[in-house]
Chain A
Amino acid sequence: MAQVLVVTSGKGGVGKTTSTAALGAALAHDGTKVVVIDFDVGLRNLDLVMGAERRVVFDLVNVINGVAKLPQALIRDKRLESLHLLPASQTRDKDALTEDGVAKVIDELREKFDWIICDSPAGIERGATLAMRYADTAIIVTNPEVSSVRDSDRIIGLLDSKTVKAERGERIDKHLLITRYSSSRAARGEMLSIDDVLEILSTPLLGIIPESQEVLRASNVGSPVTLSNPLSAPARAYFDAARRLKGEQVSMNVPSETRGIFNRLFARKAA
């Protein structure tokens, strides 16, 4: 049965789109059928991060308005043939997304795909509430930083009240994905630790993505980090998170870059 995921956060710039692309590619790696949907109408970016920006013809709003059929708007990834993208439109029409329209698109996608990943826009407006509306599972992307944690708490409240599942009295599955984490800074007391964030938000942990240059490099070249450098620390962390989503038991650790002698010396000094 298809799983509908929403990748959300409240705060912008914490890594929703990066995580959507990386998890989408990680899940699709074994041929599982995955579609990633950009809900950020007016400010689409998932197409750019996935390297498909020049292949967008139709988008989510076109499908909702009946201008295009769903298969016409879906873009197949050039590297992984089981990975697809449904882009957002670039027009700034706030009312372009309707609840019924989104419901229809998700229902149609449920028949074709195993995983439907909705990349939420920042904020708590229409785009964000519609992205989470039909989700079975939510991934809350959080940076170990006060404003991000506060906004995540707010989003968790919305997930528990404004989703179809919540309104039916069912529990929506929620997982925390902590991004841009630095073990050494947390050890020095400069950054909230994983335990701090988990205690404050009391939501189970899906994964810890370490701060890494590879993430920016991946978006520069238009590739999910799990495809551009699958052995890098953030990519391994995303692969682990994807396996946990599939129900596997994977021990939780923070992958680190392979350390040279300089790094090892530095880490020892810092600790």
Chain B
Amino acid sequence: MSLFNFFRRASAPIARERLQILLAHERNAGSHPDLLGMLREEILAVIGRHVAIDPDKVQIKLDRGKSVSTLEIDIEIPNREQMAGAAARFNPLALDAGRAC
């Protein structure tokens, strides 16, 4: 057994490193336990006001890096809605701008 162990790398340092990385991420999310869920809902609500979208065709990804984090939003807009979508994109914005004044 001792000979076998001799060639095997100690596993505790691996456990330690994995935990440190994982917990750093989980603690970040701690203030908003469901940050992604919240972002997803609010972004969908805003875009949905102007363009018809399928909630299942939306992907939101949050990559936390050491210095920079990136938020990736991928929304698929159905083709047949393109015309209506384009129209909606202009008119409501104009309306919104009008309301803001």
Which listed residue, A157, A189, A190, touches B27 by the CB 8 Å rule? A157
CA distance A145 to B5 in the complex (A): 19
B23 smallest CB distance to A (angstroms): 5
Q: Is the CB of A196 within 8 A of B16?
A: yes
Main secondary structure of the interface of A (DSSP, over half): helix
- The total of interchain contacts (Cβ-Cβ below 8 angstroms) comes to 38
Q: Interface readout for B5-31 with A: 1 if CB under 8 Å, 0 if not?
A: 100001111011011101100110010
* B79 neighbours in A (Cβ, 8 Å): none
One of A50-58, A129-137, A146-154 at the interface: A146-154
**Known A150-B23, A154-B26: A192·B10 in contact at CB below 8 Å:** no
Determine whether A200 belongs to the interface, using a CB cutoff of 8 Å to chain B.
Answer: yes
Q: Interface size for chain A: under 10, 10 to 19, 20 to 34, or 35 or more residues?
A: 10 to 19
Contacts A153-B26, A153-B27, A157-B30; A200 near B12 (Cβ below 8 A): no
Question: With A150-B22, A154-B26, A157-B27 given, is the CB distance from A192 to B5 under 8 Å?
Answer: no
B18 contacts A200, C-beta separation under 8 Å: no
B27 touches A186 (CB 8 A): no
Alpha-carbon distance between A189 and B27 when the two chains are bound, in angstroms? 27
A186 pairs with B12, CB closer than 8 A: yes
Given A150-B22, A200-B20, A269-B2; A192-B15 close (CB under 8 Å): yes
* Nearest CB on B from A269, distance (A): 7
Q: Which residues of B contact A146 (CB under 8 A)?
A: 15, 18-19
In order of increasing CB-CB distance, the 4 nearest A-B pairs are A189-B10, A196-B16, A189-B12, A146-B15
B: which residues have CB within 8 A of A? 2, 5, 10-13, 15-16, 18-20, 22-23, 26-27, 30
